[in-house]
A and B are shown apart, each in its own frame.
Chain A
Amino acid sequence: MEEFLQQLTNGLAVGGIYALIALGYTMVYGVLRLINFAHGDLFTLGAYLGFTLLASFGLSGVIGGLAGAGLLVLMALIFVGLVGVMLERAAYRPLRNSDRLSAVVSALGASIFLQNAMMLLYGARPQVYPVRLLPTASFMLMGVEIPFTRVLLFSSSLALMFLLFWFINRTRVGAAIRAVAIDQGAAKLVGIDVNRIISLVFLIGPALGGAAGVMVGLYYGQITHDMGLNYGLKAFIAAILGGIGNIPGAMLGGLLLGVIEALGTAYFAVGWKDAFAFLVLILILIVRPTGLLGERVADKI
């Protein structure tokens, strides 16, 4: 029971991170039918931005504790979001009317560029966040000791997800994003500036990914220039699991994948940690290729 609760909470915390990153994949896919292969690297960029802010700008002396962590997340949100917008302008918009493959190659190129830029700037060796901003306390849950940071990580990603969910479903601009995802031509006919919506999606998706990067840095303390590869892949699988293009699906898929991975590692084999994600991917592709929440309502033509 203790092991189970530990792994469940751990899985939810990691799953929250997967979900945040998965949202970026799924939103971009939703409006452009494109996999943004550079998305995992934007996540890494968020982690390194947090590192730089803490280490180089002397922020570590000024800020501390929860408010400091919150500020870091906010700065990563904004900065990585803006990088996302620039990425779309530079790498994807010029190829909007070209064939699929060109965009895929451009996405891979952008990924390699970002990864190598970070390696040049920060070196190939892992970096360690210079200060532990988060409290080290823990609390008891049904007789099991749960670290406070784990709850914080999970609730922060949950809060960001709810914010996005509200924005997408309850605001005018959120409705416009959904409309562009459903039918770009029809969206143009009602007067939606589709380019602006695409820019906005490239602001929101990477912003959430960047926030996830800082959160991982704060939580684990150590970051590497290629961490986006692993997290990005897992999040991509999570997005497919939930149904690519579907926003609640990405949230569900991320949390589910985190839990499956954690429980699988605990009860079956540690060495197979990454294999579980692929096992889930293969199973979902066989059993339900549209993902858990994909194509929930068929459009009647």
Chain B
Amino acid sequence: MSNSITEATATPYLTLRDLRVSYGSVEALHSINITVNQGEIVTILGANGAGKTTTLMSISGLLRPTHGEILFQGEALHTLPPHVIVQRGITQSPEGRRVFGTMSVLENLQLGAYTRKNADEAAKNLQWIFELFPRLEERASQLAGTLSGGEQQMLAIGRALMGCPRVLLLDEPSLGLAPILVQFIFDTIKAINKTGMTVILVEQNARAALKLADRGYVLEVGKVVLEDTAPNLLANPEVQNAYLGGQRD
């Protein structure tokens, strides 16, 4: 409070502070701290079960922390219901895509704009998403459940973008995709970020993620064990051994 000017300029965009999250009596996140600045791509790396999905689901409000807080532009997020968090401008493309399989591609995208009442804006946004993913426009009337895995991934990202987010959460967008498609998805994420959108990227594909990201966090069994700029993490021997498959590249 004493130095309000520096505090205002230094207020981080999105902060997870001392966050603890449990499933029943089992704690999955043990006091993690993560900070994201506006316009950044931040990647969260970690082995299976490290707590990456748990972290994103907590930000989206589907899981409630038992301790700690999540602040977005200085305001508490962890007490808000999920739909209000979407209204505040945080959307997610979840792990496993979770598209609405028995609905058409177009309906899926329109549902992404469920909280956006402005029809013109939504139409413009849809046009932009069709430019990013022309495949979705070709398949607009097809049932989402009949899309290929890669197309479903595009749809999941497109659906999250339809909410006009300020922060986009991506949970393993490259999972199970052919290498050429992985490159396309990562290029697209870069393009989305260039529009000023902040991105939090959870990935198993650590090398590609670190090449794309500004900064990264490494989670191990529910704790942040490393945080650094992406180039530093790429060069870090521990990271190379554990997540980049040795000294290659």
List chain A positions with a Cβ less than 8 A from chain B.
172, 175-176, 178-179, 182-183, 185-194, 296-301
B82: interface (CB < 8 Å) = yes
Contact residue among A185, A188, A190 (Cβ-Cβ distance under 8 Å from B112):
A190
Query: Are A179's CB and B145's CB within 8 A?
Result: no
Q: How far is the CB of B89 from chain A (nearest CB, A)?
A: 10
B87: interface (CB < 8 Å) = yes
Query: Are A300's CB and B82's CB within 8 A?
Result: no
In the complex formed, the residue of A with least CB distance to B98 is A186
Given A185-B62, A299-B101, check contact A191 B145 (CB 8 Å). no
Query: Are A189's CB and B62's CB within 8 A?
Result: yes
Query: Are B81's CB and A175's CB within 8 A?
Result: no
A and B contact pairs by CB, cutoff 8 A, 23 listed: A172-B114, A175-B110, A179-B111, A182-B100, A182-B101, A182-B102, A185-B94, A186-B100, A188-B61, A188-B83, A189-B82, A189-B86, A189-B92, A189-B98, A189-B160, A190-B163, A191-B87, A192-B111, A193-B83, A194-B82, A298-B101, A298-B145, A300-B152
B223: interface (CB < 8 Å) = no
Q: How far is the CB of A173 from chain B (nearest CB, A)?
A: 9
Query: Are B60's CB and A188's CB within 8 A?
Result: yes
CA distance A55 to B162 in the complex (A): 54
Contact residue among A185, A190, A192, A300 (Cβ-Cβ distance under 8 Å from B101):
A300
In the complex formed, the residue of B with least CB distance to A193 is B83
- Residues of the B chain whose Cβ atoms lie less than 8 Å from the Cβ of A191: 82-83, 86-87, 91, 114-115, 163
The 4 closest A-B pairs by CB, nearest first: A299-B101, A191-B86, A191-B115, A188-B82
Interface string of B6-22 (1 = CB under 8 A from A): 00000000000000000
CA distance A182 to B107 in the complex (A): 13
Interface string of B70-100 (1 = CB under 8 A from A): 0000000000011100110001101010111
In the complex formed, the residue of A with least CB distance to B116 is A191
Query: Are A189's CB and B91's CB within 8 A?
Result: yes
Query: Are B145's CB and A300's CB within 8 A?
Result: yes
CA distance A192 to B91 in the complex (A): 12
The CB with the most chain B CB atoms within 10 A, among A179, A191, A193, is that of A191
Q: How far is the CB of A270 from chain B (nearest CB, A)?
A: 41
Query: Are B103's CB and A300's CB within 8 A?
Result: no
